[in-house]
Amino acid sequence: MRPARIAALALVALSALASPLAAGPHLPDLSIAVGGTGAVGGDLDSGGFSASGTAMWPVEGPWSFGFTGFVDDMGNRLVSVNDGGVPPTPLGTLEDRHRFVFGGGWQMAARLSDWGRWQPSASAFWTAARVQDDARGVVFGATSTMGVGLGFSLRRPVLQRSTVGVGLRYHHLFDDVVDGYMSAAVEWGWRFGKTP
């Protein structure tokens, strides 16, 4: 199972264990997002799975500040394989290389004016990231880099302390392997502090 899928399952499992009964004003609002990547800059640019988790503390007014962690699939390369005979007999395709980016960092968000029951917000983030190439469990190379990004999400309340919605992020990495990409996801949020 790929690291992106493992991370997503872990995020879902942790969120299921969270209980608003133990909520308090000092606890952050939590959210998880599961979706996909696209518009990848680099030689492996087919995109793939995306997962992230965020913990945000209200600061003042519409502002909040916290941490974000993510695992994003950049794509893979498939090659045709044959038996080497004359004439060669095709044996199918094989994944030659796969690339993903994972990391975490700081995030600042501002809640915008509500659109009816929908709650839009804009965010900016700064991250430390690891870009890794592998295939079938063998790591070919990895590099560390820094990144910045912008995000926009649109959520609506469900139940007393939960939200559901969609989010879009642009990630820029200061790296020659992957210079930037987009991610889009479905987001679930839990408010553990005071409810309005």
- In order along its 196 residues, the chain shows pLDDT tens digits of 455 554 544 444 444 444 443 444 578 999 999 999 999 998 888 999 999 999 999 988 899 999 999 999 999 887 766 667 677 776 666 668 899 999 999 999 999 999 999 999 999 999 999 999 988 778 888 999 999 999 999 999 998 889 999 999 999 999 889 989 999 999 999 987 654 4
Query: In sequence order, which residues have a C-beta less than 8 Å from that of residue 129 and are 6 or more positions away?
Result: 101, 102, 103, 144, 145, 146, 147, 173, 175
Query: In sequence order, which residues have a C-beta less than 8 Å from that of residue 31 and are 6 or more positions away?
Result: 53, 54, 56, 163, 187, 188, 189, 190
Residue 28: helix, strand or coil by DSSP? coil
- Does 23 reside within a domain? no
- Does 25 reside within a domain? no
Residue 64 tokens, joined: 């909040």
- Does 182 reside within a domain? yes
> Where are the strands (E) in 46-137, listed by range?
49-60, 63-82, 90-111, 119-135
Query: In sequence order, which residues have a C-beta less than 8 Å from that of residue 61 and are 6 or more positions away?
Result: none
- Does 88 reside within a domain? no
The predicted pLDDT at position 65 comes to: 96
- Does 20 reside within a domain? no
Please, what's the b/e burial string for 182-191 (b: 16 or more CB within 10 A of its CB; e: otherwise)?
bbebebbbbb
Q: How many domains does the chain have?
A: 1
Which residue in 176, 128, 118, 166 sits closest to 149, CA to CA? 128
The predicted pLDDT at position 15 comes to: 47
CA separation, residue 89 to residues 25, 77, 84, 94, 96 (Å): 66, 21, 7, 15, 19
The predicted pLDDT at position 16 comes to: 45
The predicted pLDDT at position 14 comes to: 43
| Domain carrying residue 104 | 3-14+30-75+98-190
Phi-psi region of 8 (alpha: psi -120 to 50; beta: other; left: phi over 0): alpha
| DSSP count for the chain of H helices, then E strands | 1, 8
Q: Which amino acid is at 5?
A: R
Q: What span, in angstroms and rounded, lies between the C-alpha atoms of 89 and 163?
A: 54
- Does 183 reside within a domain? yes
- Does 54 reside within a domain? yes
Q: What span, in angstroms and rounded, lies between the C-alpha atoms of 6 and 11?
A: 9
- Residue 186: CATH number of its domain: 2.40.160.20
- Does 163 reside within a domain? yes
pTM above 0.95, yes or no: no
The predicted pLDDT at position 137 comes to: 79
